Amino acid sequence: MTYILALDQGTSSSRSIVFDRQGNIAALAQKELTQHYPQPGWVEHDPMEIWRTQLETARDAIAKAGLKASDIACVGITNQRETTVVWNRKTGEPVCRAIVWQDRRSEPTCAALREQGHDTQILEKTGLRVDAYFSGTKLKWILDNTPQARRLAEKGELAFGTIDSWLIWQLTKGRIHASDVSNASRSMLFDVHRNTWDDALMGLLDIPPGLMPDVLPSSAHYGDVDAEWLGRAIPICGVAGDQQSALFGQACFSEGMAKNTYGTGCFMLMHTGGKFQISRNGLVTTSAAQTSGRTEYALEGSVFVAGAVVQWLRDGLGAFDKSSEVEALAQSVPDSGGVMLVPAFTGLGAPYWKPDVRGTITGLTRGSTMAHIARAALESIAFQSAALLQAMSRDAVAAGAAPLAELRVDGGACVNDLLMQFQADLLGIPVLRPTMIETTALGAAYLAGLHHGIYQDKEELSALWRIERRFTPGMPAGQADELMQKWEHAVRQACAD
């Protein structure tokens, strides 16, 4: 058998999965990641904890599978995307904590860019809206607010990277400073037409060019894991941001195919082929994972808080002890009893883009219970995703394509049957759950395997995709529309001053 090690560094945990050639899991190891909230709207991670937990899980997964390093053909990496790290090239030490993608502290910089009229230029070059979500303004904040950081950066002594670059640097002991096109495309600094860092955009944010990693296709050789870490030198052959990696792992290789990942946030991507399409409905355009020099794109909608709302019920409200208990609690009532929860803990993402909005619960009565709130929390994930798909379908029709006919789903929360059925009911199209829901890690494994020659082409990968369950809409369209109108009303209430 040939095995591939996928490193899946996410927002809430570091995970490593060993896959066999058929895309089956041989072993999985996971460690939770500490979340730091130093101020309202700020979210941070310790980069050294990220590196330590990722290495520990890699070793654990190989051991759990009963394998040796010599059994691992290659390594793929997928990661939380916009989370920003700056480190010293000589020591490998970060200059501060990583600023997580959910963090909103750089919104004043974004507001200034919009006021100065740079949003159109940024949108046309990068496909992105000007928002604190993306890594470019986080990098500027670190340079402007960390002692000595800008001076050292201008001397070429610091390196910038998203989590993929940080892990590659550590795994190769500083020999490789690189990123892939899918991660680079989330920075507001990368021209997705030319696949290169853009001097004009770097100048807007006063970013010294010497900070930046080299950018490669997603399926390429990124150096070798140093023999000290896993027992032998193993080539790193695939790298992609988590959402583009999931799109690849779901075998959504053709224009019009779409997936939704239910993780800490919710991320819906629709492949648009080689067509760069600017959304007119609140979505962003992003680079899809690339297996060659051919540029491919996807429309994307990002929900900032999805599975994280379940964590909040568990940790913030003490509603249950384990996140897995939420479904039973939600099913103990027939519906939410009119309760609507808008989980805008860090603002609202697509298609609303309201960075200053905060979470609300409306429709409470004397008869409301924690079960109703739990149900409303689960339903909020589906409502937000439905708003994304409606926007995506409008963009597809505007581009002369057909509306989305089905949605492939993955991520931890997609195992929740109540949520998936409600999602299908709201969307009015089938929701397809594959047998392998770890598609984020699987995409990284496939990208690595393609470059290494384990797989010949995408057609071979498409044949490996298997459906586990199809959720068919069972709600009348009028009732679904009425529920969506109530959701939009709740969003307007949350946005009201």
**Which of 90, 246, 81 lies closest to 165 in space, CA to CA?**
81
Phi and psi of 308, rounded to 5°?
Answer: -60, -25
Extract the tokens encoding 351: 């298609």
494 and 439 Cβ atoms separated by less than 8 Å: no
- Percent of the chain at pLDDT exceeding 90: 77
Q: Which of 217-221, 311-315, 350-354 has the highest mean pLDDT?
A: 217-221
Cα–Cα distances in Å, from 259 out to 293, 300, 467? Answer: 24, 10, 13
DSSP state of 348: B
Give pLDDT tens digits for 142-201. 999 999 999 999 999 999 999 999 999 999 999 999 999 999 999 999 999 999 999 999
Q: Which residues contact 463 (CB under 8 A, 6 or more apart)?
A: none
Between CA 369 and CA 374 the distance in angstroms is 9
Q: Given pLDDT bands bounded at 50, 70 and 90, which one contains residue 496?
A: confident
Give pLDDT tens digits for 112-159. 999 999 999 999 999 999 999 899 999 999 999 999 999 999 999 999
> How high is the pLDDT of residue 1?
64
451: left (phi over 0), alpha (psi -120 to 50) or beta: alpha
Give pLDDT tens digits for 331-378. 899 999 999 999 998 888 888 888 888 999 999 999 999 999 999 999
> How high is the pLDDT of residue 497?
61
Between CA 99 and CA 139 the distance in angstroms is 9
Between CA 269 and CA 409 the distance in angstroms is 11
**Which of 347, 372, 348 lies closest to 361 in space, CA to CA?**
372
Q: Given pLDDT bands bounded at 50, 70 and 90, which one contains residue 390?
A: confident
Between CA 205 and CA 258 the distance in angstroms is 33
Strand partners, 32: 13
